Amino acid sequence: MDVSEALSLVKRGLNKEVIESKHFLDQCQARNLDLNFIKKVIINNEILGILEQDKDLYKIWLFYEQRKDLNIILRILPDKKLRLVTVFPCYSERRKR
């Protein structure tokens, strides 16, 4: 699947119910990220970028707070649902390089 098709699926899929992997939930807890707030960021913010990492595995980043982006690794499942794999905030300057 090409990146533009994946981006279209991701945009539609993020507004629906997504599946959080155990690793994603563990990372939220380890990084003191509130899961409900993360879901609001995912639903309410535009995707700033997308990068294909592997077959059906993508990294997206969204605006998170003043100087940080929220990086999310997700997998597009065969039924076109999205599984959130991991999450981490990152300073937006890294994206702009």
- What digits encode the pLDDT tens for the residues 21-58? 999 999 999 999 999 999 888 888 888 989 999 989 99
Cα four-point dihedral sign 25, 51, 78, 18: positive
Please give the model's pTM, rounded to 2 decimal places: 0.85
3-96 belongs to CATH 3.10.450: yes
Of the candidates 67, 64, 72, the one whose C-alpha atom is nearest the C-alpha of residue 94 is: 67
* Length in residues, the chain: 97
Instruction: Give the pLDDT score at 32.
Output: 94
Most confident range, picked from 64-68, 85-89, 91-95 = 85-89
Beta carbons of 45 and 82 less than 8 angstroms apart: no
Strand-pairing partners, residue 72, are 60, 87
Task: Establish how many alpha carbons lie within 13 A of residue 77's alpha carbon, considering only the half-sphere containing its beta carbon.
Answer: 11
Residue spans per domain, the chain: 3-96
Split at pLDDT 50, 70, 90, the class of 94 is low
- What digits encode the pLDDT tens for the residues 56-79? 999 999 988 888 899 999 999 998
DSSP 94: H
